[in-house]
Amino acid sequence: MSIQRCLWWLLPVLMLGSLERGLAAGAPGAVSEPDRVLKTEACQHYIAEFNQDDNELYRGCIPNAGAWDFLKDNIPLLDCPEAELQRTYYFRWWTYRKHLKRTPAGFIVDEFLPQVSWAGKDNSINCAAGHHVYEGRWLADPKYLDDYLAYWFGGGGDPRSYSFWVADAVWQRYCVTGDRTETLRLLPKLIANYNAWEHTHRDASGLYWQIDDRDGREMSIGGNGYWATINSYQFGDALAVARMAELAGQPAVARDFQARAAAIKTLVQEKLWDANAQFFKVLPRGTKATLAEVRELHGYTPWYFNLPDLAFTVAWKQVLDPQGFGAPFGLTTAEQRCPQFAIAYTGHECQWNGPSWPFATAITLTGLANLLNGPPQSVIGAEDYFKMLKVYAVAQRRTLDDGRVVPWIDENLNPTNGDWISRTLLRQRHQPPTERGKDYNHSTFCDFIISGLIGLRPRADDTVEVHPLVPADWSYFCLDRIRYHGRELTILFDQSGTHYGRGRGLRVLADGKEIAAAKNVERVTGQLPDNAPVGSATGR
C-alpha cells in the first residue's frame, strides 16, 4: 500500500482522535467510558466476523483493517432482544464505511464500490445520495457529509443527473447536528438547484415529470410521466428551503417556498391520487392521459415528506397485502395482482416491475415511521412497521457455496426466495465488474432503526423527542452514544431495572444526565442543557 493511501485511510482516525481529546478535555458532549451504558467491546465481535467473512475486492480509504477503529468512535451503539436486527444494524454501518471515498475535492459517499460506466466524476451517483445523507447524519465526525454535500455544488458532482431530495436531506441532517453554519452555507445553491429543476422538469400542469430511468427505476410498469417521487422530493425540498430561509432571516424567501410546497401538495393529492384504487399513481404526460393501471411501491413516497392529509392513509392497506406489496423476502415494487407483475431472469438485470428493491423499501419504512408519529389513524400500526423491518433485515443475507449464511446487501431481490437477482444474472453472463452490487449503498437501514424503531425524532429546536416503535414484548433496549446537537444522547428501556442497572422504565440521557423518563414505552420529550454549543439549533 502506498504512503499516500495509508495516510488517506488513517486521516479519519486521526481526526476522530482529535475530536475525542476535545471531549475528554471537558467540551460539551463529554461522557466518560465508565459512565456509558453500552461498552464498545460489546459489538466488536460483529466487525471481526464481517471482516473474516469478507472478500475485500475493493478497498476504500477505511479498509476492513481499520473498520473497528473507525466505527467504535463514529456510530451509535445498539442493544436489543432481536438478534437479526442488531446484527444487520452493525453490518450496515460496516458497509457504509466502505463507501466513504477520498477525492481531490474531499470525501464523498459512493453507491457502487467498483467503477461503473454510468457514474459521474469520482464514480459519484446522486440517485441514492438522499439515503446517504439520512444514514450518515448519525456519524460522530461531520467531516464526511460536510464534504459530500459541498461536492454536489462545486466539487464535481451532478445534483440533477437523477432525482434527488437534496435540500430535504440537508435540513434533516441539520436537525441532527444543529450546525447552522454548514447548513446555511448551502442555502443559495439549494435555491438555484430547486429553480433549475423547476425550469427543466415542471410544465404547465404545475407538476414535475420524470422518466423512470432518471428516477432510478428502470422498466417500471407505470412508465414515464408525473411521478409521486419527484413531486414529493420537490415538495420536501421546498419546505426545507423555506425552513432554512427562516433560519437565515429571509422571510420573503421562506414564504415563496412555502407557497411552492403548498401548490405541489394540492396537485399531488388532486392529480396523482386514484380514488378508486385509493393510491398515488403515475400520470403520463398529455392532456388526455389517465392514471396508470397499477399500484407501485413508490406511491408511498409522499409520506417520506409528510405530504398527504390523513384521509389518504387508506393506501397503507396495500403494503402487507399478499396481492399488494407483501412478500416473504421484501416489499415488491409493483402490486402482485397486476398482470404485468414479473420476477424476470431475462432481459435487463435491474427491473422495477416486481422485484424488491432496498431503495424503495427504505423510503416506505421511513414514510411509515412518519405516519406513525402523526395524528392517530387505524389503518396500520407499529406492529406492522416492525414486521416489515424484520423482513427487510433478514433478507439482507446470502448463503455461500459452503453453506454458511453471511450478511449481504446487493441490488434487487427476489421477494419469493431471497435471491439477489442482478447478482445472479451478472454472474451467469460473466459481466464485469466482479461483484458489482456487493455492499451496495443504495438504501438506508441504520437511520430508521434510530429515528423509527428506537424513535429519536430529529428536530431543529432543543427539545429531544423520543417515540419508540418497538414490539410490546421487548423488555429492554438501548441506543447509546448518539451525537445530537453537539451532545451525546442515550435512550434506554429496562423493564426490570436490572438489565442496565439504571432503574426501571424508559430513560433519555443527555451527556449522562436524565432529561426525560416514563414508566412504560411511550412518547417522551426532554430539553437539552442550556449551555448548548455555539452553532446549535438555538444559536446559543
* pLDDT tens, residue by residue, 255-284: 999 999 999 999 999 999 999 999 999 999
Stretch 220-248: mean pLDDT: 98
The structure's pTM equals: 0.93
Question: What values do phi and psi take at 405, rounded to 5?
Answer: -105, 125
pLDDT at 535 over 90: no
Give the pLDDT band (50/70/90) at residue 531.
low
Rounded CA-CA distance 129/145 in Å is 11
Q: What is the pLDDT of residues 82-107, one digit of tens each?
A: 999 999 999 999 999 999 999 999 99
Stretch 489-516: mean pLDDT, rounded?
A: 97
Identify the bridge partners of residue 513 per DSSP, sorted by sequence position: 510
Quote the CA–CA distance of 317 and 298 in Å, as a whole number: 15
Q: What is the mean pLDDT of residues 494-522?
A: 97
pLDDT > 90 fraction of the chain, expressed in percent and rounded: 90
Per CATH, the number for 163-308 is: 1.50.10.10
Judged against a pLDDT cut of 80, whether residue 129 lies above it is answered with: yes
- Taking the C-alpha atoms of residue 509 and residue 76, their distance in angstroms, rounded to an integer, is 14
Cα distances from 84 to residues 80, 87, 401, 420, in angstroms, run 10, 5, 22, 19
Query: Between 129-136 and 83-98, two packed helices, what is the crossing angle to 10 degrees?
Result: 110
| Dist CA 361 CA 368 (whole Å) | 10
Dist. CA 358–CA 339, nearest whole Å = 23
pLDDT at 2: 40
Average pLDDT over the chain reads 93
pLDDT score of 21: 33
Task: Give every strand in the sheet of 77-79, ordered side by side.
Answer: 77-79, 476-484, 487-494, 505-510, 513-518
Residues 319 and 380: their CA atoms lie apart, in Å, by 9
Cα gap 436→202, rounded to integer Å: 34
- Extract the C-alpha cell encoding 45: 465481535
pLDDT over 70 percentage in the chain: 93
**DSSP 3-state of 79:** strand
Read off the pLDDT of each residue in 480-485 and give the average, rounded to a whole number.
98
**Residue 14 has what pLDDT?**
40
pLDDT at 413: 97
Q: What angle do CA 389, 280, 288 make, to 5 degrees?
A: 155
| pLDDT for res 146 | 98
Q: For the chain, what are the domain ranges? A: 163-308, 310-367+376-453
* pLDDT level of residue 203 (50, 70, 90 thresholds): very high
What mean pLDDT comes out for the span 362-370? 98
Query: What are the tens digits of pLDDT across the range 388-400?
Result: 999 999 999 999 9
Look up residue 332 and give its three cell numbers. Answer: 415488491
pLDDT band for 20, please (50, 70, 90 cuts). very low
**507 DSSP β-pair partners:** 492, 517
